[in-house]
Structure 1
Amino acid sequence: MIKVDAVDKMNEEERLKYMLLLLKGQVGSEKDVLANISNVTAIIKACVEDLNWAGFYLMKNGDLVLGPFQGLPACNRIEIGKGVCGTAIEEGKTQLVPDVHLFPGHIACDSASNSELVVPIIKKGKAYGVLDLDSPVKGRFKELHRVYFEKLVEILNQYTDWEKVTE
């Protein structure tokens, strides 16, 4: 059983460190990719405040297709180069967007979202999807979050055979 009640007494960076610790324990003991990334979304939602959506979009047949997530129903499919998620894949770099309403071509899956952080999942030069975080708070995500969520994706890449879920 994963304990997350400890995060209530932690500051932001402590929460992010704890999130990575929980992640390592989860993915280090389970081989099923869908089970792991499903639990990762729950760990993120439990450890990070002011999120209204946390989840994955996975590459399938040249598009990003909705994967496991926590939050309201979302867009099923996103084209490469479209919105924040599609841009992250197209550019191959993390997108930290303080105000999504100022992002050209933003796709509003949830009208409550005001800021977004999207980390591309790239392993051995191949794009497998993105980790997408949305917040109702403008400017919610900072450089600290970019660093920790890029580490999260690095850890996932160490333990995950993305080919099993993106075929």
Structure 2
Amino acid sequence: MLGIAVGLVMLAGCSAAGPDPEPEASSSTSSQQQVSDSFAEKFPDSQVLADCLNEKGWDVTLNEATGGVGFEGTTEQVDQYEIDQAECAPEDDSIPLEDFTSEQWTALYEMELETTECLRAEGIAIEGAPSEQVFIDRYTSADPWMSYAFVGDVGSDRWDELNRLCPQPAM
């Protein structure tokens, strides 16, 4: 499955028009490189996207917990950012849901159950999970059953923490 999670575009009317192409020289460079290396291992497609956007002059931010790639900029920058983002996105080699084998559906269901137990251990109230067949039937509908639907309104720090502790299932 494609591991890209693109963050929301945050707009600020007074942001600078372009990113600073010069990397900052500081003693934290090796620390930043370690963070970047771990991010690249966990979210390789997101790292490819971020690297390409940086090469195009965007100063993107990476969310270590979710793999999100985003930027802050002006409303005037959104159209160009979206064009560059589309050009930079790695090819989607994920398997369409309609082509899933029964083994893949079972694996996804089991991952969802593991995530459910993890979220419960973190204090999230999740009602009983559906049977595997009901999960499969609902997954392709407008109302799929997913454990993260029970998380509710939490702050971004808690959301990131939950995603780090209890990764969302992905195939």
The structure carrying a bigger helix percent of its residues is: 2
Q: Which has the higher strand share?
A: 1
- The higher radius of gyration belongs to 2
